[in-house]
Amino acid sequence: MDWMFLILAGLFEVIGVIGIKRTAEKNNWINNIILLAGFMISFQLLIRAMETIPLSTAYAVWTGIGTIGAALVGMVFFKESRSWIRILCILGVIFSVVGLKLVN
């Protein structure tokens, strides 16, 4: 169950990052609520996951999900680069996160 909390924490981190981007483009209440709610929920879920998952693994997985999610959201919704090297780097992060899960 704690792994589910950790995955959800990573996904809510992505929502918080979307809130940052939206706030940078237009600073209004809705965008600020997306930013704050995304990170607040993310941190609460991360705290819950870390009750049983080791710190180093939990933090690496959480940041990995956030990094991958933010990169994919940027490419799909904000027209950021889709170069092959960027995609290769995303795959590297995925393999690293999966590797950490396997050795935990």
Residue pair 19/34 in contact (Cβ under 8 Å)? The answer is: yes
Tokens standing for residue 95: 């393999």
How far, in Å, CA of 97 to CA of 91, rounded?
Answer: 10
Closest by CA to 31, choosing from 15, 43, 10, is 15
Domain map (residue ranges) of the chain: 2-103
Res. 104: pLDDT tops 80: no
pLDDT tens for residues 43-76?
A: 999 999 999 999 988 999 999 999 999 999 999 9
User: pLDDT grade, residue 85 (50/70/90)?
Assistant: very high
- Tell me the mean pLDDT in the region 84-90: 95
pLDDT tens for residues 19-50?
A: 999 999 999 999 999 999 999 999 999 999 99
